[in-house]
């Protein structure tokens, strides 16, 4: 199994990091993809990757990006003068390293920080340009910003851009639009929530465009909703997809692993 989106480098796991990774290994998780949030993430990801090199059977892969909810705070640190250039330089430093397998996470979030729309857009553009130049997939966050996000993907799609709309929670039409634009959809714990309506949408989508993710430490699936999430909880998401598509757990695992491996060149 592959958890395509987990922030397991965060201090949420400082007490039981090794046990958490061992639980993922025991469940059969072979790869965990770690989207960066901000510059602090790089040191945190490198630190947990040290553990990775000692543990058997699992690979933790870093990515490089500035989360839309961290854009404003980072501008305050870098200063408003030429901040997009500083962002580009910072991303560039890691993006071409072979073990950084993707660009993200980036995207738009109008729920938490509507007032910084323009800055989030500029940051997203920088990430897209970089993803194109290094030819790596881009990981997109979206909250209350679907229209602008889809427009931005369309604007940048030159035939070579690939990536994932992570924690997909759109309508069927929005999901299909993203797929038509060459994107994959990351399916997380929300698909297990009873009243979210996401499951009804997901079951209509093409199965070979879906990849699994936990978004740890957030969005723990039912029956652990509200608790700290971790990669081992991917089992609940995989089970739910099996129910929705009437597939065995082996079939879900085989196809989603294949899709994720090919998207991220694992």
Q: Which residues bind Zn ion (CB under 5 A)?
A: 105
Orientation angle between helical segments 146-156 and 117-134, nearest 10 degrees: 30
CA-CA distance, 68 to 39, in Å (whole number)?
13
Q: How far is the CB of 169 from Zn ion (least distance, A)?
A: 13
Q: How far is the CB of 68 from Zn ion (least distance, A)?
A: 10
**Choice between 203 and 228, CB closer to Zn ion:** 228
Residue 114: how many other CB atoms lie within 10 Å: 11
Q: How far is the CB of 36 from Zn ion (least distance, A)?
A: 9
Tokens for 152, please give them. Answer: 């931005």
Q: How far is the CB of 35 from Zn ion (least distance, A)?
A: 5
Orientation angle between helical segments 83-95 and 71-78, nearest 10 degrees: 110
Look up tokens 């397998």; give the residue.
101
**Choice between 3 and 26, CB closer to Zn ion:** 3
**Choice between 175 and 217, CB closer to Zn ion:** 217
CA-CA distance, 104 to 67, in Å (whole number)?
7
**Choice between 67 and 206, CB closer to Zn ion:** 67
**Choice between 105 and 119, CB closer to Zn ion:** 105
Classify the phi-psi angles of 167: left when phi > 0, otherwise alpha if psi is within -120 to 50, otherwise beta: left
Q: How far is the CB of 41 from Zn ion (least distance, A)?
A: 11
Which of 204, 174, 191 is CA-nearest to residue 236? 191
Q: How far is the CB of 188 from Zn ion (least distance, A)?
A: 9
**Choice between 65 and 175, CB closer to Zn ion:** 65
In angstroms, how far is CA 211 from the centroid of its own chain? 10
Tokens for 90, please give them. Answer: 């910072």
Q: What angle do CA 131, 30, 204 make, to 5 degrees?
A: 70
**Choice between 105 and 230, CB closer to Zn ion:** 105
Classify the phi-psi angles of 148: left when phi > 0, otherwise alpha if psi is within -120 to 50, otherwise beta: alpha
């Amino acid at each position: 199994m592959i958890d395509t989106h987990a922030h397991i480098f965060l201090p949420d796991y400082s007490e039981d990091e090794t046990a958490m990774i061992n639980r993922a290994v025991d469940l059969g998780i072979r790869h965990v993809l770690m989207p960066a949030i901000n510059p602090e993430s790089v040191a945190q990801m490198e630190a947990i990757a040290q553990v990775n090199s000692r543990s058997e059977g699992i690979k933790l892969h870093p990515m490089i990006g500035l989360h839309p909810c961290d854009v404003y705070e980072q501008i305050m640190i870098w200063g408003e003068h030429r901040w997009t250039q500083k962002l580009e330089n910072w991303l560039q430093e890691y993006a071409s390293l072979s073990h950084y397998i993707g660009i993200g996470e980036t995207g738009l979030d109008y729920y938490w920080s509507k007032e910084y729309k323009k800055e989030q857009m500029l940051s997203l553009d920088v990430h897209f340009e970089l993803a194109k130049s290094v030819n790596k997939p881009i990981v997109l966050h979206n909250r209350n910003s679907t229209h602008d996000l889809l427009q931005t993907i369309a604007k940048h799609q030159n035939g070579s851009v690939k990536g994932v709309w992570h924690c997909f929670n759109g309508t069927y039409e929005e999901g299909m639009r993203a797929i038509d634009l060459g994107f994959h959809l990351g399916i997380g714990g929300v698909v297990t929530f009873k009243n979210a309506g996401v499951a009804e949408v997901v079951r209509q989508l093409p199965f070979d465009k879906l990849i699994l993710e936990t978004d740890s430490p957030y969005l723990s699936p039912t029956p652990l909703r509200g608790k700290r999430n971790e990669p081992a909880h991917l089992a609940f998401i995989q089970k739910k997809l099996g129910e929705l598509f009437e597939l065995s757990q082996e079939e879900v695992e085989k196809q989603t692993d294949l899709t994720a491996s090919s998207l991220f060149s694992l």
